[in-house]
Chains A and B, each alone.
Chain A
Amino acid sequence: MYKFLLCWRYLRTKYIALASIISVMLGVATMIVVNSVMAGFAHEMQDRLHGILSDLVFEAHSLEGFPDTEWHMQQIRNVAGDDIAGMTPTVAVPAMLSFQYGGNWVTRPVQLIGIDEKTQGQVGDFGKYLQHPENRQQLSFLLREKDYDDRDHTGGDEGRPRPEMARAGWNHRRSVIERHRMIQANGKPAGQELVPGDPFALQGANPAPAQPPAPASEARKVDPFAIREAQGAVFDPLKEQHTGLVMGIALATYRDHGGNDRFLVLPGDDIKLTFPTAGTPPRAIDDAFTVVDFYECKMSEYDNSFVFMPIKKLQELRGMIEPKTGLRYATSIQIRLKDGADGNVVRDKLRAAFPPELYSISTWRDKQGALLAAVQMETAILNVLLFLIIAVAGFGILAIFFMIVVEKTRDIGILKSLGASGRGIMGIFLGYGLSLGLVGSGGGLALGLLFVVYINQIADVLSRITGQQVFDPTIYYFYKIPTIIDFTTIAGIVLGALVIAVLASVLPARRAASLHPVEALRYE
């Protein structure tokens, strides 16, 4: 009984012990915050990666792809049909994207992906990253009239407004073309912005059938204008669009200093893509496209490089259709698994069924293995480092406890003279260590959780005080610091802190227990 009473009294009267309580508290709080933020980051990243990538990717090694996607999909179904919820073929090729902005041509390397607009939504969260509400329901490569989201809808409540997007759509397209036509009609030179008849021109102001001779390029053969010319059709940009294209939003925007997105291109604008054909050796071809929507998954790596277009058109342009049979080629098949299916098991089944020299089959985790592993390793290393902080706090407890034992030497003698056993004395100090650990980790738990819950507000305040953005949304493409509070982790942290506190009090407690009562009583 006296152990508890004395523990309690020591806890309330020995303020020096507060120092060790605070160090335990800070250690625990830091670990909770770091783990929550890292878990939030990892989760957010995995979520996005998984949303972007399907569960399994079945790929050909070559850019040429494999023929007869239907047959391949049937084979995949034969092997692992029970686990498969959906499949869609895609064609992925590196490409160059060019558009005109401020009188200059901007060219960017991109990953051009041909997708099937009907089935793409079945294998991932593709739809939810688009900017037009209807496209989110069902993607269409036809330009929408208007009603594009004029705020960052994936940013949640914190999503910034994007006033420029309110103009996007056919309205934008028409107004741009009309302006150009007006400039033309006034007889002013089009300047650098518009080279009439240049196939690279954003809006052919004068879509006369008589196009000037094109640059001597093989690619001209598949130029849609040429096809249209051959067909005798006249392309009217006021009423018609080129092939629709969904563009990674970071390709079309830049962030200003306020963290707002400024648009270089809007849905309705035309751009140009250059990409290799499927033959050997590949030749470069180009074509004009109309931006119909933006893709924004908040992973800058993807937002910065993905451009989506209809797979059928891409197959046509790249020559991925066998002329005789009409069978289409694809470079990969995206597979979504049913809930609960183990991606690794299905992957291994498929790997066994398809020759590895022709196909590479990987889960989304395999694809992003390096990134995920890096995050995991960072978390692990941070945890080790932070646990060292608590260990340091443990040594603080050790030192302070030795001090307290010295200070309490006479009291220990008194207790022994009253019949307390060495074990009982040890119990006092072990219990004291435990209660310090409890108070410290309890305080740390509260502090850490509060910090995690209000982390964005805290970041804001810190930004205001220091004048420097603590969490820069231009780096991560999300506005809020993501956090996940995992109670198992927190329980582990608190338990670890308790164990350290008790371990640190073992030595002083043993010393206290072994004090000779007479010498302790005589101690001044």
Chain B
Amino acid sequence: MNEIHTVTVGKTSAPRHALGAATANPRPAATARLQAVGLEKHYRKAQVEIPVLRGVDLSVASGEFLAIIGQSGSGKSTLLHLLGTLDAPDAGEVHFDGRRIDNLPSAKRDALRNKQFGMIFQFYHLLPELSALENVLSPLMIAEGVLGYRRRRAAHTAKATELLHLAGLSHRLKHKPRELSGGEMQRAAIARALIAEPDVLLADEPTGNLDRSTGQEIMRLLRTLNAQRHLTIVMVTHDLAIAEQADRIVRLVEGRVERV
């Protein structure tokens, strides 16, 4: 197996050797909100196995703002997808609040993504048919059936409106994504990620498609959320200037974590 680099920054994450009988059944640290243990992931391209992650150990404390940086192709997005249970690792484990989540049945993982994780992406990934408000509401629509949703619609709409207000989009509620600027779309996407009051926000290059000043606005919003709501944020970026605004930086190099 590959050698494992463990990153220990801050008080919250435990070093690799402190995990007890680690190789057999590694136990996550009690205070870690999200933890990756020995994550490996390969992609198969035309019969050739391409390793993307070669054993990543990572621990994110509750309320921490972690930045993962790396060259393109270093596997940082893949890591984020594994953390968010969008993808399953070939080896290794993902733990959330001390529970292993990467091997949960799909319904449980769907629920986890719906409620515990909020995700934002480089290309915003708003649904083009829905207005900003509806996009923000969509996680709640997914979580609830027609009747339940209709019963609580007023409360939901109020909450979504408030989040959009927080994101500075009060005047754009009814606008479709194509009528919004990049920064506005990203702010709408952040509002969507927050609507279900998640524990963790997973951000994949949130500023990657924005100019510097707009990117700074997004970062300011994320910092505010981290500071005021104690939202745990894991952000992937290739931009060191952006990454430096996080509490802690982890560098991925060729599928392994490198100390910064």
> What is the CB-to-nearest-CB distance from A400 to chain B, in angstroms, rounded to a whole number?
17
Pairwise interchain contact A9-B129, C-beta atoms closer than 8 A:
yes
CA of A195 to CA of B112, assembled, Å: 110
Pairwise interchain contact A417-B146, C-beta atoms closer than 8 A:
no
Contacts of B141 in A (CB 8 A): 1-2, 5
Pairwise interchain contact A417-B84, C-beta atoms closer than 8 A:
yes
CA of A411 to CA of B135, assembled, Å: 11
Pairwise interchain contact B86-A417, C-beta atoms closer than 8 A:
yes
Contacts of A280 in B (CB 8 A): none
Contacts of A419 in B (CB 8 A): 110-115, 139, 142-143
B119 CB within 8 Å of chain A: yes
Contacts of B130 in A (CB 8 A): 5-6, 9
Q: Taking A1-B144, A4-B146, A424-B142 as contacts, is the C-beta distance between A417 and B119 under 8 angstroms?
A: yes
Q: Taking A1-B145, A418-B114, A424-B142 as contacts, is the C-beta distance between A6 and B81 under 8 angstroms?
A: no
Contact pick for A422, options B106, B115, B134, B143, CB 8 Å: B106
Contact pick for A521, options B121, B129, B134, B143, CB 8 Å: B121
CA of A415 to CA of B114, assembled, Å: 10
Pairwise interchain contact B129-A6, C-beta atoms closer than 8 A:
yes
Contacts of B154 in A (CB 8 A): none
Q: Taking A5-B134, A419-B110 as contacts, is the C-beta distance between A518 and B87 under 8 angstroms?
A: yes
Contacts of A421 in B (CB 8 A): 106-107, 110
Contact pick for A410, options B86, B125, B144, CB 8 Å: B125
Pairwise interchain contact A414-B87, C-beta atoms closer than 8 A:
no
A420 CB within 8 Å of chain B: yes
Pairwise interchain contact A2-B125, C-beta atoms closer than 8 A:
no
Contact pick for A517, options B86, B126, B127, CB 8 Å: B86
Pairwise interchain contact A418-B86, C-beta atoms closer than 8 A:
no
Interface code A384-424, partner B: CB below 8 Å = 1, 0 otherwise? Answer: 00000000000000000000000000110111111111101
CA of A421 to CA of B112, assembled, Å: 11
A13 CB within 8 Å of chain B: yes
> What is the CB-to-nearest-CB distance from B205 to chain A, in angstroms, rounded to a whole number?
12
User: Which residue of the partner chain A has the closest CB to B126?
Assistant: A414
Pairwise interchain contact B86-A13, C-beta atoms closer than 8 A:
no
Interface code A155-168, partner B: CB below 8 Å = 1, 0 otherwise? Answer: 00000000000000
| Total B residues in contact with A, Cβ cutoff 8 Å | 33
Contacts of B114 in A (CB 8 A): 418-420
A66 CB within 8 Å of chain B: no
A41 CB within 8 Å of chain B: no
A10 CB within 8 Å of chain B: yes
CA of A413 to CA of B84, assembled, Å: 13
Q: How large is the interface on A (under 10, 10 to 19, 20 to 34, 35 or more residues)?
A: 20 to 34
Pairwise interchain contact A417-B129, C-beta atoms closer than 8 A:
no
Q: Taking A9-B129, A411-B127 as contacts, is the C-beta distance between A420 and B146 under 8 angstroms?
A: no
Q: Taking A1-B144, A521-B125 as contacts, is the C-beta distance between A420 and B87 under 8 angstroms?
A: no
Contact pick for A418, options B87, B113, B144, CB 8 Å: B113
Pairwise interchain contact A417-B113, C-beta atoms closer than 8 A:
yes
User: Which residue of the partner chain A has the closest CB to B204?
Assistant: A521
Interface code B191-205, partner A: CB below 8 Å = 1, 0 otherwise? Answer: 010000000000000
Contact pick for A1, options B112, B127, B146, CB 8 Å: B146
Contacts of A424 in B (CB 8 A): 142
Pairwise interchain contact A10-B110, C-beta atoms closer than 8 A:
no
Contacts of B144 in A (CB 8 A): 1
CA of A13 to CA of B119, assembled, Å: 26
Pairwise interchain contact B87-A517, C-beta atoms closer than 8 A:
yes
B128 CB within 8 Å of chain A: yes
Q: Taking A5-B134, A419-B139, A419-B142 as contacts, is the C-beta distance between A518 and B110 under 8 angstroms?
A: no
CA of A21 to CA of B150, assembled, Å: 30
B6 CB within 8 Å of chain A: no
Contacts of B78 in A (CB 8 A): 518
User: Which residue of the partner chain A has the closest CB to B195?
Assistant: A418
Those of A476-523 within 8 Å (CB) of chain B: 516-518, 521
Contacts of B145 in A (CB 8 A): 1
Pairwise interchain contact B84-A418, C-beta atoms closer than 8 A:
no
B138 CB within 8 Å of chain A: yes
Pairwise interchain contact B129-A518, C-beta atoms closer than 8 A:
no
CA of A5 to CA of B144, assembled, Å: 13
Contacts of B107 in A (CB 8 A): 421
User: Which residue of the partner chain A has the closest CB to B81?
Assistant: A518
> What is the CB-to-nearest-CB distance from A249 to chain B, in angstroms, rounded to a whole number?
65
> What is the CB-to-nearest-CB distance from B124 to chain A, in angstroms, rounded to a whole number?
9
Contact pick for A2, options B84, B110, B142, CB 8 Å: B142
> What is the CB-to-nearest-CB distance from A429 to chain B, in angstroms, rounded to a whole number?
14
The listed residue with most A CB atoms (<10 A of its CB), out of B81, B86, B87, B112, is B86
Contacts of B129 in A (CB 8 A): 6, 9-10, 13
CA of A359 to CA of B47, assembled, Å: 85
What are 12 A-B pairs at a CB distance below 8 A? A1-B144, A1-B149, A2-B142, A5-B134, A6-B129, A6-B130, A415-B138, A419-B110, A419-B111, A420-B114, A516-B87, A518-B78
Interface residues of B (CB under 8 A from A): 78, 81, 84, 86-87, 106-107, 110-115, 119, 121, 125-130, 134, 138-139, 141-146, 149-150, 192
**Given A5-B130, A517-B86, A518-B81, list of 14 further CB < 8 A pairs?**
A2-B142, A4-B146, A5-B141, A6-B127, A6-B129, A414-B126, A416-B110, A417-B86, A418-B113, A419-B110, A419-B114, A420-B114, A421-B106, A518-B87
Interface residues of A (CB under 8 A from B): 1-2, 4-6, 9-10, 13, 410-411, 413-422, 424, 516-518, 521
A-B interface, 5 closest residue pairs, ranked by CB to CB distance from nearest: A419-B114, A9-B129, A2-B141, A1-B141, A1-B149
